[in-house]
Every structure is written in C-alpha cells, then in structure tokens.
Amino acid sequence: MSVDVVVVNWNSGRQLRACIESVLEFGDGLVGRIVVVDNGSTDDSLELGPAGGGVTVVRAGGNLGFAKACNAGAAGAAGDYLLFLNPDVRVLRGALAAVCRFMEGAGAAAVGICGVKLVGEDGKVQRGCARFPGWLHMLSIASGANALLPSLFPGHLMADFDHERSRAVDHVIGAFYFVRRGLFEELGGFDERFFVYLEDLDFSLRARKSGRAAYYLAEAEAFHKGGGTSEQVKAHRLFYSLRSRLLYAFKHFGRGQAWCVSAVTLLLEPFPRLLRAAARRSGAEALDTLRGYAMLWGDLPGLVRRALHD
C-alpha cells in the first residue's frame, strides 16, 4: 500500500517547506511520490528546500489553476491512494497510517474520499465538512438571505457538527483530500473548467453519483493554517469563487435554476457586498469587489461557453 502526495504551490513561502517536511517526517513509510506542482511562483518558496529527498518539482511556468495543477501532479501516479495537500497543511504523527488503516478496512469499501480533523493556529478544530449545496442555497448566498436569516438558510459548511467524531459526510475540505487513485482516474480527475474553488466539491459529488462516499476521520489530525495564498489577491479570489459557483450551478442544477443563480449573482449580489464594505468603511474592500465583478462580467462570454459545455 502506498500514497502519492500532490502539493500545488503558488507563492506559499515557508509554508511549502513545512508541509513537505511534515510528510517526510510522518509519512509512516507509506508515501511513494511527493510531487510539488509550482504554478509560476514569484517568491522564494521553491528555493527553500522542497526539492530532493524524493520530492519531484513540476514547474508549470505559469498559473495553470488548482484543478489542472492537481491533475498534472497526479499524472503517472502509481500508489494506491492520492493525497492532495494544501501548502499550509502539516501532516501530524500517525495521521497517514490512521487514514490508510481506515480505508483498507472492510467497512470502508464504498468510501472513496477521506478527510481528517484539521486544527488551526488557535488550536481549535476547524469545521470544514460540507453538505452538497442546492440551487436555493446558492441563491440565499448570492442574495444575502443566508446572512440575514441563517436559521432558514444555513450555510453548506457543517458548522453545526463539532467535528470531534468520525462520520460519513457529503464532502470534506480539499486542504487534506485523500482519494483512492482508481476512483480519481475513473472520474477523470478534477474538472479543469474550475480554475480554483469548488473543484473538490464537484469531485465529491461526482464520486457520490458513482456510488462512492466521503468520510471524515476524526482520529487522524493535521494542522491547517487556513486563509491560503489567495489572500494576496482578494479581487481575483472573488472573481474565481463566483465563476466557480456559476460553473457548478450549470453543471449540477437544471438550466432554469442555474440561470436564476447566475442572474442574482451577477445583478444583485454586488450591492450587498458594497454596502458591507461601506459599513466597514473599507475602500479597499469596495475596490476589490468592483474589480472582482468587473473580471466576472468581462469573462462572461467564455464562462457561458464553458458552463454550457457538458
């Protein structure tokens, strides 16, 4: 039994080195390949020592997007499992062994994806499991109804679940995404139309439709800083998150439902966002909002083509 680890790097700084070192130290003799796919970093993250020690660095030469970079890192994998790690994750002692024991157990034959307990810098357990969102849920987010009436429109993240016990879930956060290699290859990997965000949710849903479940294993732990390097480019982060929402809607909802989500996202959602920025007296937030939506509106022709392509 072996695990191939894929890490997509983009200006992760010292976090990348800490991530790789944790895999090397706590691999429990289970790790076959470690592949770092670098999406055109301009910082010194690749010079901080990830190469060597069985680590392969793939220099994409530019930003491929997260889904495509993950697929590139998984190409040629020979292990029984794939582990997609964010650079801001550190594997803790015994985690990989616990996940492998669980996945190899008779009770996990129908489990295709496994996540672990993630602990943040504050020592608190992060609640990253999620339910598959429906179109009404996405409408509630776009319209701001989920913020005004959270009891009627709860978020798709399972904030009501304390994450202290193991259980089957719809989806586990992609920061630590452990997948059977056979399933990954059967589904054709991540859908590369998702540049970043929701590619893992889309994969979990496709896995569910194929008869494989996702499972949250609380007995295994990893550290997750959270926030990600996208904090460096907030307008782009908004653009790509909205773009992925629309792609997901057209892929998994009825056409009329997807157009409803799109209309509210494109025409209504900017206003509550700008009001929130005004309430916070944050000109930077307002500017990022306008820039993010400008990119989204500018990308509409290409987005529609990609969304309608099945």
Average pLDDT, the chain: 92
Residue with tokens 């295994």: 220
> Can you give the pLDDT at residue 90?
97
Mean pLDDT of each 10-residue bin along the chain, 310 residues long: 95 92 94 95 78 80 94 95 97 97 96 98 94 93 83 83 96 97 98 95 98 97 80 84 95 95 94 90 92 93 75
> Can you give the pLDDT at residue 245?
95
> Can you give the pLDDT at residue 145?
85
pTM for this one?
0.93
pLDDT one-digit tens code per residue, 187-211: 999 999 999 999 999 999 999 999 9
> Can you give the pLDDT at residue 86?
96
> Can you give the pLDDT at residue 124?
95
